[in-house]
Chains A and B, each alone.
Chain A
Amino acid sequence: MSKRAISYAVIRGKVHDADLVEFGGRGGDLRFFAPDPQKLASQLPLGSPSRMDDLYQLSFDEILDYLEELGKRLDFGKNAYMQEACELSYHTSPATPPIVRGFYTHMPAMFDRTRITQWCEMSVGIPYLEGWVETPINGSIVSIRAYGARALHVIAGNGPVIGALTLIRSAVTRSDTIIKVPSNDPFTTAAIARTMCEFAPDHPITKHLAVAYWRGGDQALEQKLYQPHNIEKIIAWGGLASVRHVTQYIQPGLELISFDPKRSASVVGADALNTDALLRETALRIATDVGACNQTACSSCRVVYVMSGTDPAGLEKISRLGKLVYEGIMGLPCDLSNKPKRYDPQLKSHVEALRLNDDWFEVIGGQDGEGAVIVSRTSDTVDFAEALADRTVNLVPVDTLEEVLGAVDSYTQTVGVFPDTLMPLVRHKMVLHGAQRFVSLGYAFNGPGLVGPQDSIEPLRRMCKWIVTERPTAALKPLWERKEGETALVA
């Protein structure tokens, strides 16, 4: 009999695999077992906040030492936990096996010491994480320090890296962390946590991590756990429904940091279409941002506004671009992109409907569930733009940049821009409409990683509790010594 698929609960240095209950994977692909959440519920929270103190016995360097060591131990070739989790994730992940395997293989790079150091320095400033940073203002010495909080993370499962990212963010901010893993990635984070238990079971960072699966919306458990005496912050990733669901527990003393559902788009300027060589480069850049990780990420490009114009010459150009984009997607290396696991049937029915309507839309590919390029022949996006997935992109010809702005809102995360000369103008206008991240087209997945702001918020800073101490200098005259008329209160 093959081994049962278990989503282990790993709570504060201890691995739990008793009292298993069966759960279904999304899309009915795989059923898996997890320890009965009701029986673990009381063990998930830290209990007393004083128990956070051990994290403050660590220097920032020691935290980096731990993460560096963990990174080494996640070496896919040597880590049996990770190999097992990867194998099981093939069945639950929306991405295909070569892509899932790629994520697992490259995970140690996320723990690179220099990258984490630079990231913390840029986002928070290591001195604030290490101790009190003093500044004299208005006759006082103001000291500020970033403390960790007791946080619960409801993570998304579109790529098996969000658990590792959460863990790094938690360690450097000295947070106490509960991670609720999703049904489409129920194995990866626990495998990392099991690795932690193996090499440092009593380390404070290991002791401040609890990983478990329960069904999102499990009222009995969530009502008990999502309370200000257990946790101070909820960090929620995911769809509108799941984020909305969490909001019911938000009350004074319990803060929500929400990574709302996002979509991404791109803008291609007229200059990018001038020569055949440029057209080909543009196509490859689009194909890369569409195809990478099979378009499962929020930063995946789904609609491209092309400033080709809507006159016959412009339409001919964008049609040619569409064919090149299709070829580009099909030619991507298979650990970056390949034929989707299952082409969404609802999406397929939309695409097939447009295929019959070549007056206004040109559908390139898509017969075999491999992905498709839909070229609009007017400046309309397809009406199912929000459902574009499985390597399906809509190229939309526009005459002016102004037409694009209407399509940008607070749901727009990444905007890929090409050529780069267009960046300053596009960026400024789109920020006003709600867009949050700008990249050179083709580089949406090829950069520093999630080291800076995300969705226009600073997650590392938001995960911290910012504490202030004020100490008077000799120059500051006490209020009790001031005469009437001398008192000046400032806010």
Chain B
Amino acid sequence: MSTHASEATQPVRKKSKTGLIIVLVLAVIALNVVAGKYLGLNHGIEINIFPRPVEGFGGGVLTETNISMFVASALIVVSALIIRIFFIPKFKAVPGKVQNVLELIVGTLENYASSISGVKDAIVPAYGLTVGAVIVFSGFAELLGFRAPTTDFLMNAALALIALIVINIVGIRKFGFPGRVKSFFKPVPMVGPILIVTHLLIPVSLTFRLFGNILGGMIVLELLYAVTPLVVPGILNSFFVLFHAGMQTFVFITLMFTYVNEAAEEPHD
């Protein structure tokens, strides 16, 4: 009887979940269409590689990506506070819905980090989740009509430089500082300069990959906003924000884990 009941309830639940997802996607698209019409700060044929300074707010020091990064940070802080205040104190041994989702995200990321990087250092998945949150929430700021913070070169450079620091923290924790320095000169001392330059090129590569991808998406969207009525770029903007940025987050995190693996593996003698 009980199995029958569960079989009977399963399709209904699944259907309602699909309906919820469709409603969410439609809401995102509608929000984006409205925001593109009324809040859009920079939709026009003019495309800037470097963000323009905003007049009257901080005396022209702040650029439009600074403003949208403030919005994205506010979104991140508010959602983190909501999770911390309302959900984490209610955690039980038998998880509820929200706890399940949170544990799924954290557990998946931890497994992924340790399977690729081969170290069980808490800082690695923590920074991966941070990068993911920053990129995804700057996508949400873009949905509100701002220019995405990740289209700023310096923003990506900051993310990649912190990734370099995390990589070296893991290496130093594993081998100690002298061992980490020695690992650059390991097979023969002659390769030292080459390895050091390769190591210093890690943040350059990460920066350009993220910057080029997101900026390319932005330029495509700007051109679309210039030539079509509002609905088409609204839909495509949602696609770029939800799928393309998520894909880039995944690539960024995977590459960072791979570099951590390189930094943490035993040097060859």
Say if A and B assemble together. Answer: no
The interface of chain B, by Cβ under 8 A from chain A, is none
Which residues of A pack against B, CB within 8 Å? none
